[in-house]
Amino acid sequence: MRRTVKDLLVEIKDTTELVVDLAYSALLFDNEDIAEEVLELEDKILSLLRQIRIVSILAARRVDEAESVSSILQIADAAHRIGNAAGDIATLVLRGFKLPKEFVNLILYYSEETSVKAVVSENSEIANRTLGEVKLHTRTGMRVIAIKRGFEWIFNPDRDTKILIGDVLFARGDVEGIPKFFEIVTGRPIELEEMKVEIEIEDLDNAVDTVIEMKNLSELAVDLSYSSVLYYNEDIAQEVAYLEERIDNMKYDLQHWVLKSSRHFEKIKPLITLLDLANASEQIADSAKEIAEIVLQKLEIHPIFREAMRETDEIITLVEVGKKSKLDGKTLGEAKVETTTGMHVIAVKRGKKWIVNPKATTKIHAGDMLIAKGTREGEILLKKLCRSSQ
């Protein structure tokens, strides 16, 4: 049976987000099994792209229909390029290229969305229950992207996936959600310790900061690009274009540092890994800009896109902060938005100004519009948090 454009679009977006998450996890945990899955998902995205092209051509009977469908194909093509970038990261792992341990620790600690792994204990709240029953994503802001069970792997588990004692969960999400995640999964609380790494090479800390920021901003660019099309908002689309240009400049800065500092490294592989990671981040940002170009060029978008976005694994929502709501006058950190709702706020609109990539210290005021991504249950909780008490 031929699949619909909406079905294919949902799967393309979900698979693209998963493949990027898995690619970074494969590199940070130096895991070849995850890297192999990334390459398989890259092939899957290519297959989905072929299918959506065929279905779109058959669906377009008039010129106006062809124009709106062409925007869908532009999104699918950009998603394919994001998959290619993720495949490049995975290939590094399979060829034995690694980041220095100090780099990995800093990236895990300071990334906007980090990666963790935890073993399910006998005392775990989630043992012998499904992800949906425990609402792990909503409660912690950490999304399980893979499960290792003995010698087997479960990739992209859904809410009906039952978790067993001894399972190793790989998850992605906000750093602040890590303590709650580990408490639920392992049955014991942990505290995050301040990461301290001795820096001996000149400007090494700046190089690490550049890699982390490129990774964070490229992922942010993808989220904002989908948001710009979903709400057909030119301001958001312009922010994506700005981020893409900023990432380009950061890549040149990193290349300059690598050439200048290469004499301090006995092995060249870590530097090659850094450069390839930066290139992949740039490709992801370039692809995000291509999606945002739909809005910047004022192209028509098919209504089916909005329907598809409501059926993806992680939804994007726009919520207004009400007067005297629980969030009014508080910072995102004080209100513990991500850890209490599971929703990651990616941008804030305040009047005509946009605050992209807000931090825990960002104060929220009544009238602000929040763009956030997460679960459907999390969207409900976020709306309650923003609801006016007047």
CATH number, domain with residue 148: 3.30.70.1450
102: in domain: no
Cβ atoms of 229 and 305 within 8 Å: the answer is yes
- The total domain count for the chain is 2
What CA–CA distance (Å, rounded) separates 180 from 247?
Answer: 32
Structure tokens given for 98: 């690694």
Instruction: From 126, 156, 186, give the residue that closes a domain.
Output: 186
Q: Tell me, what amino acid is at 153?
A: W
Answer whether 181's CB lies under 8 Å from 118's CB.
Answer: yes
Note the Cα 303 to chain centre separation in Å.
24
> Would you say residue 152 lies in a domain?
yes
Regions of the chain short of the pLDDT cut 70: 1-2, 59-65, 192-205, 264-266, 390
Asked if residue 70 belongs to a domain, the reply is no
Distance from C-alpha of 73 to C-alpha of 53, rounded to nearest angstrom:
7
The size of the chain, in residues, is 390
DSSP bridge partners of 331: 363
What H or E segment, with its residue span, contains residue 36? Answer: helix 32-59
Question: Distance between alpha carbon 335 and the CA centroid of its chain, in Å?
Answer: 22
Q: For residue 107, what pLDDT is reported? A: 79
- Residue 170 counted as domain residue: yes
CB 378 within 8 A of CB 137: yes
Domain containing 125 equals 112-186
* pLDDT score, position 69: 81
Residue ending a domain, among 139, 161, 186, is 186
pLDDT at 202: 53
**Whole-angstrom distance, CA of residue 115 vs CA of residue 31:** 13
User: What three-state secondary structure class fits 124?
Assistant: coil
- Answer whether residue 155 is part of any domain: yes
The pLDDT assigned to 80 comes to 95
Q: Is 69 a domain residue?
A: no
**CB–CB of 181/146 below 8 Å?**
no
Can you give the pLDDT at residue 1? 45
Task: Supply φ then ψ for residue 315, to 5 degrees.
Answer: -95, 160
- Which residue among 186, 210, 236 closes a domain? 186
Q: Which pLDDT belongs to residue 199?
A: 46
pLDDT at 205: 67
The answer as to whether 126 is a domain residue is: yes
Q: Which amino acid is at 47?
A: S
Q: How many CB atoms lie within 10 A of CB 63?
A: 7
Inside any domain, residue 344: yes
Q: Cα 165–168–174 angle (5° rounding)?
A: 120
Can you tell me the distance from the alpha carbon of 255 to that of 274, in angstroms, rounded to the nearest whole number? Answer: 9
